[in-house]
Structure 1
Amino acid sequence: MDKEPQRQDELQAPLLPGDGGKAAAAAGSAYALVCSLVASAISIIYGYNRGVMSGAQKFVQEDLGISDAQIEVLIGATSIYSLVGSLAAGWACDCAGRRRTMALSAAMFFAGSAITSVAGGYAALMAGQLVAGVACGFGLVVAPVYIAEMAPAASRGFLSSIPEIAGNSGILLSYIADFALAGFPKNVNWRLMIGVGAIPPLFLAVATLLAMPETPRWLVLHGHHEEARRVLARTTGDPALADRRLKEIVSSAQESSKQAVAGGRDDKAPSTSVWRDMLIRPTRSVRRVLLAILGLQFFQQASGVAALVLYAPRVFNHVGITSQRAVLGATILLGVVKTVSIVIPLFLADRLGRRPMLLTSAGGMAVSLLMLGLSLRASPMADAGASASAAWWAAATSVTAAAAFMATFSLGFGPVIWMYGSEILPLRLRAQGTGIGTAVNRVMSAVVGLTFISLYEAVGMAGSFYIFAGCAGASWVFVYVFLPETKGRSLEEMEALFDDSAKSPSLTAQ
């Protein structure tokens, strides 16, 4: 009878000192915050690598004589490489641990950036992007898993938003670097833009191995219960609460093991049984969890965010902005809006809930993408008879619509899908399941990156964004119909939530 009051005590623990909680609880929350910030550094590095080619691609083409088609393949292939990384990352997280996997990702980011920055031809560029792309896949998986497993339930939404904020900060930093370094000679500027990204991974790899703890849930799965208790005591600031949480985690792990044995699966071969539990013989709740994760990851990229992150300068050129510095300045504006807007879910995800933020985000994306398509249709490139005034308004509206899309994307479909996906998976499926979701994300990102130039050449720049607007509208329907609310629930409750709400997920919205 006392289990629920105990859980409520945990949910009411404050995140930061000064919020009225006990000093020990505040210290524990501060420790979880520090761990989350360090883990999120991998997302800053990912964001920088993701965004730097947006401004660098023009100079790479001029220096190395690379065609549009080759650039399209180079940029899109990075997402394919990250697909490989995301699938391998789930296995690495389970076998080597979340902490060591993060250090490995940092080492690969260093190698990929270094190789790309000294490339003398297209083959070397592709080799560098191969290594960096695999690192991206690792980073996308390990940071959300690590933070979800380290964070107390009361602050999990807050802390789980940090990687997405960090990723957007990395993209913004890459845009600023592109702008600041564009004035160097064309055979030097793009190398500096990319090479700067090789420095932070070195520091992160060292910090991860020397200062960060392993997650308590991974420690429990590998029999290190005392070490798990010590980590929980530091993240909660309350030894008694740490003991209760440890019992819940141990119970969840034992239940998963019993289900594996009852189902005729070999629990001593975790990698094989995990894939079987997810893809061959999943329970009803696991099927619904996978549907939620795969759907969210699909729609995030189907909305066309990669088109603006990777090709914003081309979009702005198309609308009539011809000055290179003006184009890069408008691109920086998108990065600023995206980064500032993504702070909002940090404070609201645990108050409003996941569903309201996702629904608001999807609706806003659909409207802003439609507005962007209409403004592109009115641009001088589309209408040769447009007046100077009409051209100015088309350019201003395009930049405004693109910024509005970045803002509404960042309210939900940017950060919330990652926190939602990492918290609804059962413990023994969490790393591999996150890897599958990330793989779908990378496939869709690759499709957009590999085809965007060809797409707008076939249906027009405006037509491309009409398609993305339709996908954003479909994502609103998906969230409304299929996703239950998870706010305030412990990770161990999620499987029952999806099983109980199988017929009507919206009934569980809070």
Structure 2
Amino acid sequence: MSESKVVESEEPHQTPKKFKLNNYALACAILASTTSILLGYDIGVMSGAAIYIKRDMKVSDVKIEILVGIFNLYSLIGSCLAGRTSDWIGRRYTIVLAGAIFFVGAILMGFSPNYAFLMFGRFVAGVGMGYALMVAPVYTAELAPPSSRGFLTSFTDVFINVGILLGYISNYAFSKMRLELGWRMMLGIGAIPSMVLTVGVLAMPESPRWLVMRGRLGEAKKVLNKTSDRKEEAGQRLADIKEAAGIPENEDNEVVEVSKRNTGEGVWKELFFSSAPAIRHMLMATLGIHFFQQASGVDAVVLYSPTIFEKAGITSDTYKLLATVGVGFVKTMFILVATFMLDRVGRRPLLLSSFGGMLLSLLTLAISLTVIHHSHRKLIWVIGLSITMVLSYVAFFSIGAGPVTWVYSSEIFPLRLRAQGMAVGVVVNRTTSGVLSITFLSLSKAITIGGAFYLYSGIAACGWVFIYTVLPETRGKTLEEMHMCFGKFWVKSSTTKTEENLMGAGRKSRR
């Protein structure tokens, strides 16, 4: 391998800053990331509600596929608008807007008299979700100090998983109600957290980087003082942000004039047509990590877990819904483990371990479901293995692919491109999720459900190779230092003992 194709760590002997937790930054991150509960709840609740919607409205599998998956495609509208909106009105008010739109959508879904009206309600809620998915990780990454940025930004996926678990519990709780009322309660109750969120976010400060981008240095300094571990660190963070925004370091006025370049003009052109290798590398990393996160089959497992359990041999609605609650519980527990490892272990080791585990789980699940498909009698051990592999898959997803995707893509872009860069990642994420959700039932019929999971395992293998070769480690870097990690498209990261242990590679460190 030629040296021109290798990127070594810019500071190989630099020790990442010790993990510290700022209580004010923690509170703000929790509030901002609560938006993710809305997406998680919709994913979880639709897995069970779809069963009763199909029975009540007497619609086909294709219409159910479209109903379930179209939410992700609708969210693309919000994601595309969110980058410019958050540069215009700020990160905080964009989160408020997201919660308000989702509230209206949840109410419409809860009162839907027919399939067409239900689709309209999902359109409104989907737009709101698109706004929330883009802006919440960006806000948290911009607010958090470097020592705990991974931990705090991972809250996006933590709350997605909490929402999924709540959705599963809602399915079980309302499944005993009258057919025409139960699924409407499942969907409509999602309006409650969105209403609480909309009010709670108003208590948060604005992102310090957005304030600097608008020339409001005095306000930015106050926020940085509250969210930094020391006053000296706050001063250094402010100096770095000013430099990134093109504001002279010796500028100390409370409010300064900023160029139109800092307010979002020309960003899309720079993002997609930049001649800078680092920007192209960042865009490639963002598109790839969001694609592989979804294309490896997570929404097929989470959205259609009752269908998978039915194919595995569980026929009772009650047992299927209880099994999905187990999926949500495991997913939530393992995401909590990941949040505490992100700033201690690093992004790459978690991603590589995650995709490796997902690959093995998907292969074993595919084999198990294929055996069940060709068997003429009930094989209890294969049913147990299938359920175990579903739980194993969501556990491995939650320790890396789930949380690290949002952390990584929200922290790598420079200040001027961050909102739009994250928006592009969300568009790829939701598009891939939507296509997978809409096609899963049809794909399962075409190549069998086991064949579908063989396909997803192949994609997970490609994802592992992509991460190993393209994604550099970003742990311990400030947002303004990220450009040093990018620029070459074949990554040979400094190998650490932690990564060796996690991957079980057994090879010598090449530091």
Please give the TM-score of this superposition, normalised by the length of structure 1.
Answer: 0.90
SS in structure 1 opposite 2:293? helix
Amino acid at match of 2:182: N
Alignment match, 2:387: 399
Q: Which of 446, 461, 483 is residue 449 of structure 2 equivalent to?
A: 461
SS in structure 2 opposite 1:187? helix
Alignment match, 1:480: 468
1:216 equivalent in alignment to 2:216: no
Task: Report deviation, 1:267.
Answer: 4.1
Q: Which of 107, 110, 118 is residue 114 of structure 1 equivalent to?
A: 107
Q: Which of 340, 364, 376 is residue 385 of structure 1 equivalent to?
A: 376
Structure 2 CA distance for partners of 1:477 and 1:13, relative to 1, 3 Å: closer
CA distance in 1, matches of 2:229, 2:391: 41
CA distance in 2, matches of 1:56, 1:503: 44
- Does the Cα contact within 8 Å between 1:484 and 1:509 map onto a contact in 2? no
Q: Pairwise mapping of residues 206-355 of structure 1 onto structure 2 (< 5 A)?
A: 206-209=199-202, 211-254=203-246, 267-268=260-261, 270-355=263-348
CA distance in 1, matches of 2:443, 2:247: 49
CA distance in 1, matches of 2:180, 2:473: 52
- Does the Cα contact within 8 Å between 2:20 and 2:229 map onto a contact in 1? no
Q: What per-residue deviation string (whole Å, max 9, x for no partner) do you get for residues 271-326 of structure 1?
A: 44110111123411000001101000000111010101111111111111100011
CA distance in 1, matches of 2:288, 2:398: 18
Q: Which of 411, 417, 431 is residue 443 of structure 1 equivalent to?
A: 431
Alignment match, 2:189: 196
CA distance in 2, matches of 1:443, 1:372: 25
Task: Report deviation, 1:504.
Answer: 3.9
Structure 2 CA distance for partners of 1:10 and 1:450, relative to 1, 3 Å: closer
- Does the Cα contact within 8 Å between 1:483 and 1:506 map onto a contact in 2? no
Task: Report deviation, 1:368.
Answer: 0.1
CA distance in 1, matches of 2:103, 2:163: 15
Q: What per-residue deviation string (whole Å, max 9, x for no partner) do you get for residues 377-401 of structure 1?
A: 111xx12423x3x2x1221111100
Structure 2 CA distance for partners of 1:509 and 1:36, relative to 1, 3 Å: farther
Q: What per-residue deviation string (whole Å, max 9, x for no partner) do you get for residues 174-205 of structure 1?
A: 00010111000001100111111111111111
- Does the Cα contact within 8 Å between 1:310 and 1:449 map onto a contact in 2? yes
Alignment match, 1:52: 45
CA distance in 2, matches of 1:509, 1:275: 35
CA distance in 1, matches of 2:322, 2:15: 48
Amino acid at match of 1:477: V
Alignment match, 1:187: 180
CA distance in 2, matches of 1:9, 1:505: 20
For this pair of structures, how many residues does the alignment match?
A: 475
Q: Pairwise mapping of residues 62-77 of structure 1 onto structure 2 (< 5 A)?
A: 62-77=55-70
Q: Which of 358, 362, 365 is residue 365 of structure 1 equivalent to?
A: 358
Amino acid at match of 1:385: H
Amino acid at match of 1:470: G
- Does the Cα contact within 8 Å between 1:276 and 1:282 map onto a contact in 2? no
Amino acid at match of 2:241: I
Amino acid at match of 1:168: N
SS in structure 2 opposite 1:331? helix
Task: Report deviation, 1:341.
Answer: 0.5
1:506 equivalent in alignment to 2:468: no
Amino acid at match of 2:206: E
CA distance in 1, matches of 2:197, 2:295: 32
- Does the Cα contact within 8 Å between 2:82 and 2:130 map onto a contact in 1? yes
Q: Which runs of 5+ in 1 are unaligned?
A: 16-28, 257-265
- Does the Cα contact within 8 Å between 2:292 and 2:460 map onto a contact in 1? yes
Structure 2 CA distance for partners of 1:38 and 1:269, relative to 1, 3 Å: closer
Alignment match, 2:412: 424
Alignment match, 1:496: 484
Q: Which of 142, 163, 171 is residue 170 of structure 1 equivalent to?
A: 163
Task: Report deviation, 1:270.
Answer: 4.6
CA distance in 1, matches of 2:313, 2:19: 53
Identity over aligned residues, as a percent? 45
Q: Which runs of 5+ in 2 are unaligned?
A: 1-9, 249-258, 497-511
- Does the Cα contact within 8 Å between 1:164 and 1:414 map onto a contact in 2? yes
Q: Which of 4, 14, 25 is residue 20 of structure 2 equivalent to?
A: 14
Q: What per-residue deviation string (whole Å, max 9, x for no partner) do you get for residues 214-271 of structure 1?
A: 0100000001000000000011153332122111100111189xxxxxxxxx944854
Structure 2 CA distance for partners of 1:436 and 1:414, relative to 1, 3 Å: same
Amino acid at match of 1:251: E
CA distance in 2, matches of 1:384, 1:401: 19
SS in structure 1 opposite 2:493? helix
